[in-house]
Amino acid sequence: MTKLLSMIQSVLAAMFGVQSQNKRHQDFSNKHLFISFTLISIVFVFILVVALIWLVGIITG
């Protein structure tokens, strides 16, 4: 569970551009985790897009 939370934290930090170089190297040192990071990233981008569409709908509605 803590590994999943660490991965989510890394994805969020990378999305906002505050991921440190050392943390990035640590995250991608294991090649098997690349797919997990990719899937989590896709899910978070989808959630972000849906949230923005919802927010714009509320503001303009």
Span 12-29, pLDDT tens digits: 888 888 878 887 777 777
13-43 core/surface letters (b: 16 or more CB in 10 A; e: else)? ebeeeebeeeeeeebeeeeeeeeebeebbee
Would you state the pLDDT for residue 49?
Answer: 97
- How many residues in total does the chain contain? 61
Q: Which pLDDT band, with edges at 50, 70 and 90, does 50 fall under?
A: very high
Would you state the pLDDT for residue 33?
Answer: 80
Interval 39-48 mean pLDDT: 93
Q: What's the rounded Cα separation, in Å, for the pair 41 and 24?
A: 14
